[in-house]
Chains A and B, each alone.
Chain A
């Protein structure tokens, strides 16, 4: 069974907050859920499927389903880090195609900015790799920095090329009134910002924000009964990528597999994509994804992004026209949700006019959750305006 043409995204909502000291985590989930359901023109009583990952308070969906007052007949809590909301679109489409639900609600929320960055959970020593990472202060930051360092060594990628990813994001973010960082920056600005973890400067890193988002995926019958643009799920793929006992190529992400599966199912090629949302935890993340999804050859991602080629209206492939994680938001340290939301806005023609891609009828959203240099979950979804 394929999910192609079996499900539609009918509702989306992005929480406007970037700092929420006065709201609980459950409250943020509820606000985005209600917002997305209303955007679809449905009610919470219509929701019969609920999808979330480990950012929810409580055990899987149990606490939130009660908090939200849902009456569901299908739940899914697949956890693949920041890419999980993209996985959930695929799983919602599968559930809808097999008759397990017809209105699937996916929520994500988090408040790491209000909670403070030092609020790390105690180590879970049942995690098998942990004793071999913990002593070395392994972190998201140094793992991605090591990918960038190796990419530069192997392919000649330059700090200037990395910086262009941020420059493009800032050009887009200037039009987004909700974005945390709205100043347009230059390559020089990025290179002059403090070095955090060689070769990544402060401006190569994404923001830390509170907030969240939600998506409503529905059956074709329900989609056609609503007065919203028809945004079809055309193909999706997912993959887990790891070190393979210390033998893997750390420059190759799970996007190689998840992207190939998604393009195959959708029956389209990278060249057909008019707009792409790419996970941008760091500037290097975007470069690796462009290569692994087939937008350019392996090793040529740096050249692909240079000279403004990701800027809408300027470059060959507009990427992250909301400002992305680098400038807009990264709610709960999980960027997959917002990647889908901006792709849907582009397909609906509801992006800011300054960044809207003309005749945007095919878009891709891709996430890399976890640690690029060790183990991560990748997810790709290809969406089409009918």
Chain B
């Protein structure tokens, strides 16, 4: 187990601030299009599939599997960057934390948790479950 690396702090904007507010409450949300039904990530006001502006935030359990990952060995402690396939379909860039980096595998089941950044912002990351 390695100690988590301090997260770099993102700056929310009017289009995505609800995502960060939810993360602050410990909830992962994604965007789903009411018209075509498709979920996407990262979240957008306009659906990237059918271009409808009729999109809504959806709370999700934050469970998925590792689609691919890499261990940044030069960092101390090592950072794991990954794409996680959410159960709702989209892949999501993230870090895998609180894990044995040498035991990670593609297809491993993971669950969201939230890491502290500066300015009170919390960032979704994932751990093996």
Contact = CB atoms under 8 A, between A and B. Distances in A.
Q: Please tell me the size bucket of the interface on A.
A: 35 or more
A131 B49 contact: no
Interface of B: 5, 7-13, 15-16, 20, 38, 40-42, 44, 47-49, 67-75, 79, 81-83, 86, 89-95, 106, 117, 123, 125
Contact of A150 (B38, B47, B106, B117): B106
Given A128-B42, A137-B8, A243 B91 contact: yes
Nearest to A144: B70
Contacts of B75: 137
A246 B73 contact: no
In this complex, which of B5, B40, B125 has the most chain A Cβ atoms within 10 angstroms of its Cβ? B40
Contacts of A196: 72-74
21 contacts: A132-B42, A136-B125, A141-B72, A143-B81, A147-B68, A149-B68, A149-B70, A153-B68, A196-B74, A197-B72, A198-B69, A198-B71, A200-B70, A245-B38, A245-B41, A246-B90, A246-B91, A247-B38, A247-B89, A250-B91, A374-B93
Contacts, number: 121
B87 to A, nearest CB: 12
Contacts of A137: 5, 8, 72, 75, 79, 81, 95
Interface centre among B41, B67, B83 (most CB of A within 10 A): B83
Contacts of A133: 93
Contact of A135 (B10, B44, B72, B83): B10
A250 B68 CA distance: 10
Contact of B10 (A134, A147, A244, A245): A134
B40 A198 contact: no
B90 A245 contact: yes
Report which residue of A125, A129, A132, A137 has the largest number of chain B beta carbons within 10 angstroms of its beta carbon.
Answer: A132
